[in-house]
Structure 1
Amino acid sequence: MPALTAYVRGVGVIGPGISDWFALQAVFAGHAALASAPTAIPPLAVLPAAERRRVGNVIKLALATGLQTVAAAAADASSLATVFASSGGDGANCHAICETLASDDRLISPTRFHNSVNNAASGYWGIATGAQAPSSIICAYDGSFAAGLLEALVQAISEQRPVLLIAHDAPYPEPLRAVRPIADAFGVGLLLTAQASAAGQAQITLALTDETVNSLANAPLEALRQGIPAARSLPLLACLARLQRHAETGRVVLDYLDDVRLAVSVKAAP
């Protein structure tokens, strides 16, 4: 695969003890410790009341992360193509459907059914923002963030348009949690463009590699990286934070496939 280059125009992140990109940057810089607190997902006033009642935490997390990213980039959400990446979609909704199917009353509500598909977050994003641009959904187990990043860059470059990547994961309830433990909810958003602009924060270049994946020296952040698939993005976010703080270039290797990883080089946008 030839190297692919694009530009990061905005970043958003929500996770355990992390309210936004600024809070995470403070942790990376050593100005604050990672708070020992569960993920707090902001309320979604952008959805009509009926839709707000129907959606679960996975969709709320995806939309809140996307809106935070769009706000950071001062972009128009309704005009953006999107890529949603999740390692397993809405596990809580899947659990509820399985409980119903195992009961005497096996009738599944229409809301449960349409929320069970992996593109539910994309559909609710369209309702919330009015977006009618193309939207893709990626699922690649623990490599879902890297797969989504690769897909988003390919689209941004080939279509010559901004693409919003939203990677998100949330815990499964028991008994699914026992076989697929996810520590907490985590969402990360990147708005990517094919061309540099005054608003661009960084230039990133992707290439495939068989090198070892980067870990984090900060133990609580490394536990997040290992414990939540979407948090496999943290080494890249740390690299972006160093660039923003010290104009320091960098390169990280992220989880992707069993025998192929994703190398990401970061430098200042021209």
Structure 2
Amino acid sequence: MVNAEVFIEAIGLAAPGMPSWQQAARVLRGELPYEPVALPLHSPALLPANERRRATPAVRLAFQAAEDAMLASTVPAASLATVFASSDADLNIIHRISSALAATPRLISPTDFHNSVHNAAAGYWSIAVGSRAPSSTISAFDASFAVGLAEACGMVTVDRCDTLLVAFDLPPPEPLYAKRPIEAAVSVAVVLTCERTLNTLASMQWALTQDTESTLKTALLESLRLGNPAARALPLLELLAQNRSDRIVLPQAEKNAGLAVELRML
């Protein structure tokens, strides 16, 4: 394991049947059955009205988990560095722009063009909280959460920046869905700090490994984990929900590689 230690202060989650971390923790502890009810479209409380009107479903999904995490964080949102991790960002916009380019005349929505960049969610977040802190946006296919977590841990340990990690992906439209079948909308947020705080949940260390990735025993939750890159976080979230210290493995970008996370509850 990497000797450096980071602290997990807060969690946010938005997934079918688990619209918040508070609800998800009860499901992951087995106190409630998992019922995968689709998420309603989120209205970001932190966004000004003009930006909220322009925000896409992908941005709104990212905000749902991020705002959920900030409810339990003692660190001011504006001071947090950020890492936004998404395998595909907003394929709905890519589909609309591609369709417009194939049509006559070629009329592209200015709002779609504005939102088409992969770091759109990071930009909206910076506007919402007034942040000038460092920000990274990452894509690593099904390993996006693990790569985002490694990037966030690096910012905490090397740059000494308390950091908000947000991972999110949502289903694309056809014909893209046939090639990239993401099954459900999921976003996960984790607040990582350099030092222990009054709200710290756990500490963690990490290392690369060739061990097999961790899975979930509940069939519906395992299906969710496999159906969305952001949901690869669920084994880690399960440990946190159950207040259980243990080691889990998250899938990494390279074949037969993983990110081992050693979690110690505090």
Note whether the superposition's TM-score is higher than 0.5.
Answer: yes
For 1:186, the equivalent position in structure 2 comes to 186
Offset of residue 3 of structure 1: 4.6
Q: Which whole-Å deviations, capped at 9, do the CAs of 1:31-77 have from their partners, x for residues lacking one?
A: 11112311234312322222222221100111221111111113311
Q: Distance in 2 between matches of 1:185 and 1:67?
A: 16
Q: Distance in 2 between matches of 1:256 and 1:185?
A: 21
Q: Distance in 2 between matches of 1:44 and 1:161?
A: 25
> What amino acid is the match of 1:185?
A
Residue 262 of structure 1 pairs with residue 259 of structure 2: yes
Residues 13-32 of structure 1: matches in 2 within 5 Å?
13-32=13-32
Q: Which whole-Å deviations, capped at 9, do the CAs of 1:65-106 have from their partners, x for residues lacking one?
A: 111111111331111110000001101111110110111021
> What amino acid is the match of 1:260?
A
Unaligned runs of 5+ residues in structure 2 are none
User: Which secondary structure state, in structure 2, belongs to the residue aligned with residue 35 of structure 1?
Assistant: coil
Offset of residue 30 of structure 1: 1.3
Offset of residue 224 of structure 1: 0.3
Q: Would the aligned equivalents of 2:245 and 2:265 in 1 still touch at CA under 8 Å?
A: yes
Unaligned runs of 5+ residues in structure 1 are none
> What amino acid is the match of 1:83?
V
What is the TM-score with the length of structure 2 in the denominator?
0.96
User: Which secondary structure state, in structure 2, belongs to the residue aligned with residue 220 of structure 1?
Assistant: helix
> What amino acid is the match of 1:205?
Q
Q: Distance in 2 between matches of 1:60 and 1:239?
A: 27
Q: Would the aligned equivalents of 1:15 and 1:40 in 2 still touch at CA under 8 Å?
A: no
For 1:64, the equivalent position in structure 2 comes to 64
Of 51-60 and 218-227, deviating more is: 51-60
> What amino acid is the match of 1:133?
A
2:246 to 245, 250, 256: 250
What is the TM-score with the length of structure 1 in the denominator?
0.94
Aligned length: 265
Q: Please list every run of at least 4 consecutive aligned residues from structure 1 whose deviation after the TM superposition is greater than 4 angstroms.
A: none
Q: Distance in 2 between matches of 1:68 and 1:99?
A: 35
